[in-house]
Amino acid sequence: MSTPLVRIVHLHVAPHHREAFEAYVGTQIKVVANQPGCLNATWLRAHDGSYFTYSTWLREEFLEAYRQSATFAEIWPTLKAWFDAPARAWSCDLLTQPPCSV
């Protein structure tokens, strides 16, 4: 059995686009979370004003299917137009299951 895949994407949005970005992502993150194989999708605002998306997928194939979908083809160019630096992304293996305690 494979472990879930976590996808973390760091997004730099131009300050004058942040309000529109937050409004758009606020509705679209639910669309991403409802994609086949997506276990959850959240987004975060860092204290420096940049953003992260954090999504968990059953397997990499589900993430790749989403990245090839019409939904992604609509969402990504809209987001990208608001960036003031290239996005950075990481795919990670999930090593602990929530809740994690020490």
Residue 1 has pLDDT above 70, yes or no: no
- Local structure of residue 40 (DSSP, 8 states): E
| pLDDT tens-digit series, residues 67-94 | 999 999 999 999 999 999 999 999 999 8
Q: pLDDT by residue (tens digit) across 6-32? A: 999 999 999 999 999 999 999 999 999
Q: 68, 53, 58, 56: which is closest to 10 by C-alpha? A: 53
Question: What is the reported pLDDT for 39?
Answer: 95
pTM (predicted TM-score): 0.88
For the chain, the C-alpha Rg in angstroms (whole number) is 14
The answer as to whether 44 is a domain residue is: yes
Instruction: Decide if 102 is inside a domain.
Output: no
Closest-CA residue to 37 (of 14, 13, 55, 12): 55
Quick one: pLDDT at residue 99?
A: 64
Is residue 17 assigned to a domain? yes
Inside any domain, residue 97 = no
